Amino acid sequence: MFQPLQGVRVIDLSQVLAGPYATYQLALMGAEVIKIEKPGEGDWTRRGGSMPELSARNMALGYLTHNCNKKSVTVDLKSPEGVELLRELVTSADVFVENFKPGVAERLGLGWDALRQLNPKLVYCSISAFGQDGPMRGRPAYDHVVQGMCGIMLTTGKPGDGPVKVGAPYIDYAAGMNAAMAIMAALRQVEQSGAGVQVDVAMLDTALMLMGSLVTQHLTTGWKPVQNGNEAWSASPSSGAFGTADGTLMLAANHDRQFENLCKAIGRSDILDDERWKSLTARLSNWRSLRETLEQTFLTRPANEWEDLLAVAEVPAGRVRTLDEILAHPQIANRCLTSEMSFTVTDRTVHVPALGFKIDGQAQTASRAAPELGADTDDVLAMIGVDEDRIKKLRNAGVI
């Protein structure tokens, strides 16, 4: 297994998605991730979802998805004893991750300035909606709120549809990936300099970086994106969405070689001899007639047949699929994007995400089930020198 972060200890105060997804990636790469949760409640994602029986056990699918390979320790951070206990844990850690609203960690005595005094080599990562500075720093937000604010909803959907949200919490996931990358880079910096690093990850920043080409074009030329439906950003008339006999085909024949291969593959070499479409400039000028001509041909056969023909011709194309269809495809089985985990709280096997890449030809998957609430509290506290008598007193007081 690929375990480059073995020996790295992460104290994780984050909840819901972006933070837990960041630390989940670190855990899959070998880090010891200690998830700090509120006694009796835990991460908000432990409840809800489509399986009430799991929610009733504080082990809902939303929690299981991003918390394998971690340890769960319950600490009440509203009590001075709980904060002190966490500060003791931090002295043995390499990384600290929190996704409080900016200012909350400082009020708890767990801010960057306070913790780097305890641990000068600490990597301290804050994940928030808008970052640790700026006029919006104190505002809360979730993925769909940031989607509305970043501009993506007015580029998604067809003209006249009104704002359309992306159908998955992609900003949360991207912020988690962004944070994991930043943390690993910061760990390397600590190795080189011996000094701790403060990492500030914002969901709005991440959303705009995912739109980097749009941002650059607007700031450079004043261009403003509009809703473009299923058309390609290249604006090539031989790219985008085309109806077929039984579904939709997404096509990308952008340059001359691809266009030539496309026409030959679909049996329409005659298009190449038409003066209206001989050059890219001509095709752009006569895009509507070209689109209509291509679609008339595509409507004669099913999408999967066109996909296979165009793959042989090395023209990028794919049939629009449902989630169940793509997950059942042999390509996904070969990539090993999930692993099957067994949990004591359900007889069902749960498929949890792997890392999104292979190393030396091998997928990097979870090896230990997500912990029940507080399952590792005693072991972790004993590991940092808290004796049994103190653990008992802390539990009786409701601190852990």
Distance from C-alpha of 225 to C-alpha of 233, rounded to nearest angstrom: 10
From the list 76, 143, 172, 205, the catalytic residue is: 172
Query: Parallel, antiparallel, or unpaired for β 9-12 and 32-37?
Result: parallel
Would you call 172 a catalytic residue per the annotation?
Answer: yes
Taking alpha carbons only, the member of 292, 288, 307 closest to residue 250 is 307
Tell me which amino acid residue 91 is.
T
Give which of 45, 56, 54 is closest to 15, Cα–Cα: 45
Neighbours of 70 (CB within 10 A): 25
Question: Which among 24, 64, 52 is positioned nearest to 371, based on CA atoms?
Answer: 64
How far, in Å, CA of 399 to CA of 375, rounded?
15
Contact at 8 Å (CB) between 276 and 290?
yes
Beta strand pairing call for 239-243 and 248-252: antiparallel
Q: CA torsion 255→257→263→267, rounded to 10°? A: -160
Q: Angle between the 170-193 and 18-28 helix axes, to the nearest 10 degrees? A: 50
Helix pair angle (143-150, 170-193), 10° resolution: 90
Distance CA 392, CA 8 (A): 28
Is the CB of residue 11 less than 8 Å from the CB of residue 34?
yes
Distance between CA atoms of 55 and 269, rounded to whole angstroms? Answer: 59
Which residues are designated catalytic?
172
